[in-house]
Amino acid sequence: MSAAPVRPTLPFMLRHPARCIALGFGSGLAPKAPGTFGTLWAWGVFLLISPWLTDLGWATLIGLGTAVGWWACTRCAQHMNTPDPGSIVWDEVLAFWLILWLIGPASLLAQLIAFGLFRFFDAAKPGPVGWADRLFKGERGGPVTWAQGWGIFVRRLRGGRLYARRHRALPRCAGVTMSAIDNADLINRIAVALIQRRERIGTAESCTGGLIAAACTDLSGSSAWFERGVVSYSNEAKTELLGVPKGLIALHGAVSAEVAEHMARGLLARAPIDWALSVTGIAGPTGGSEAKPVGTVWLALVHVGRPAQVWRENFSGDRHAVRAQTVTSGLTALCEALEDRDN
């Protein structure tokens, strides 16, 4: 159980020096392909300062940048509650500086070819690149360690090759409002993954009132992978339909990690499904408190035989916005989990 991932913004970056460094002084805030923007920023800085730096100067800069970057990237990932945020680009900055320094002096054409090859390795992740990525990649919702922070650099530099961290499609959306992500695209990808796995999913919803199930069944043929949806809006429904203990609700409240997990596990135990996604929250405009303000939502994703993934979201906006963002958060987590299993 952990806090929700934080999407980086300019104010978020400016509040801590580690974030400024890790996010490439803003280049990592690009809504799409932040790694490419980070590499382009590194190239521009290289062209600007290379006339004044000797080999010793570059070696010192890269060495200090690695030491400081390890701290900055780890801290930034911890602040974002994400083991491998796509918006962290300082590793790419250092790796590309190292490449340009090692091939120098080089013409602009040679540097352009190096840029293309570097981005290719980032996208293709051949052999040892993929191995290094799997070795250091953290799980969604898990704690961010210093080893994972160090791994951000190792994945690009191991064995003297160009390494890149794994850019999954969903984390690449960092910087984009979650409700702006195309739910239809997520549903299509979820459908493909579940059909390939011959697995089925069910949903247990409270504050969304069946919106996740509706999004899933908007796709024709969804009966091949979507089994059922339960709307357990009241506390009594959570107990009667999903087996959530009354005492648990009384102790932690209906909007809690414990209840969200029990909702998912209860559905998993009662339906012929492999995955269960549950949600309970306060969509507003009433019902909030100081401890649980409007926009507080707990979600849980459970797969047969695996630990539950439970996370909290703190959404803003009106009732419609909170519910829409909750749907996207749940679909995003499910799609990400399924695509992890495909790798």
Global pTM reads 0.51
At residue 298, the pLDDT reads: 97
Name which of 123, 73, 120 is nearest 93 in CA terms: 73
Do 212 and 331 form a contact (C-beta atoms < 8 A)?
yes
Judge whether residue 168 has pLDDT over 90.
no
The average pLDDT across 270-282 equals 97
Judge whether residue 39 has pLDDT over 50.
yes
In angstroms, the CA 309 to CA 27 distance is 31
80-122: pLDDT as tens digits: 877 667 788 888 888 888 888 887 777 888 888 888 877 766 6
Half-sphere exposure of 6 (CA within 13 A, CB side): 16
Neighbours of 339 (CB within 10 A): 16
Higher-scoring residue by pLDDT: 28, 203: 203
The average pLDDT across 315-319 equals 90
Contacts of 154 (CB under 8 A, 6+ apart): 132, 136, 163
Task: Write the single-letter amino acid at 334.
Answer: L
> Which domains does the chain possess?
10-173 (no CATH), 178-342 (3.90.950.20)
Do 61 and 49 form a contact (C-beta atoms < 8 A)?
no
Preceding omega of 128 cis (within 30 degrees of 0) = no
In angstroms, the CA 249 to CA 252 distance is 5
197-210: pLDDT as tens digits: 999 999 999 999 99
48-64: pLDDT as tens digits: 998 888 888 888 998 89
Judge whether residue 279 has pLDDT over 50.
yes
The average pLDDT across 263-274 equals 97
Residue 281 β-bridge partners: 297
1-12: pLDDT as tens digits: 445 678 889 999
Do 316 and 276 form a contact (C-beta atoms < 8 A)?
no
In angstroms, the CA 10 to CA 221 distance is 42
Which of 40-54, 154-168, 193-207, 221-235 has the lowest average pLDDT? 154-168
Instruction: For the chain, report the end-to-end CA distance as a whole number of angstroms.
Output: 24
Do 87 and 15 form a contact (C-beta atoms < 8 A)?
no
How far is CA 331 from its chain centroid?
A: 12
Name which of 282, 342, 340 is nearest 139 in CA terms: 340
